[in-house]
Amino acid sequence: MKEFLDSLSGKEVQKIDWVMRVVAETQLVPAEYFEKLRGTNGIWALRAQISGLSFRVLGFFSGSNAIVLTNGFSKKTEKIPGREIELAQRRKLDYLRRDKR
């Protein structure tokens, strides 16, 4: 995630940060900002748009109210690339293996 955010402009990071705050602070988050990806094992997509560009940040819930962000990317088509979903799922499994409390 750090590399992804470091690759963005300040305005792009601000928009993603704003959407993350909306998700964190809103009881019923509109699907235009946050949605569960069908056909995945609990992977969610945070959606941000700025200046005609679309960005996605993938992640999953850990516990009842924490979201672990796994990867982010800019999106040029309607569909989320399968490799990005696979990366999110691999990172989720790795996190869960290491997080045996």
Please give the pLDDT value at position 88. Answer: 97
Please give the pLDDT value at position 101. Answer: 55
**Whole-prediction pTM value?**
0.90
Q: In the chain, which residues have pLDDT < 50?
A: none
Span 32-55, pLDDT tens digits: 999 999 999 999 999 999 988 999
How far is residue 35's CA from residue 79's CA, in Å, rounded to a whole number?
Answer: 13
Helix/strand/coil for 28: coil
For residue 67, what are its two tokens?
A: 């979201």
Give all domains of the chain, ordered by start, each with its CATH number. 2-98 (3.30.2310)
For residue 6, what are its two tokens?
A: 């470091």
